[in-house]
Amino acid sequence: MIEVRIDCSVGRGRFCGQCCMATEMVLTVEDVERIASLGYRLEEFAEVRRGFLRLRNMDGRCVFLDPETRGCRIYEHRPLGCRLYPLIYDVEEDTVAMDGFCPRVEEAAVLGSREEAIRLFRRFYALAVEAYRRYLSHGMRNF
């Protein structure tokens, strides 16, 4: 299993939060179910953009980003893609890389092999496609 370790704290109970600004994070069915189990309705945290269910942005940031601390309100339940960041998948090249957008990318540690990461991201995108198809079949209210 792939694990990404990165310390996003900037001191005094505050976090970087850069990756949560204008997020494009896609969601899987498991992500949706996990977040919904916390009491959130799908339409509160997800929207369809560019062929995927994605985390909703509010005021230019992820709906779960606390504007005061810049920490994630659902950190322990966050989507798989958030758990893997700053490791990202290039679909066209079928490879993984570290996202240079992350100010702490040099400090990130990835536990696991590149091959494992690629397999995981392939599965992740297949699950994201499944979530979008489920949305098309059932809609937001009956997901």
Cα–Cα distance for residue pair 92/141, rounded to 1 Å:
33
pLDDT for res 138: 87
- Predicted TM-score (pTM) of the model is 0.92
Cα–Cα distance for residue pair 54/118, rounded to 1 Å:
21
Instruction: Report pLDDT digits (tens) over 95-125.
Output: 999 999 999 999 999 999 999 999 999 999 9
In this prediction, residue 29 has a pLDDT band, given cuts at 50, 70 and 90, of very high
Instruction: Report pLDDT digits (tens) over 7-21.
Output: 999 999 999 999 999
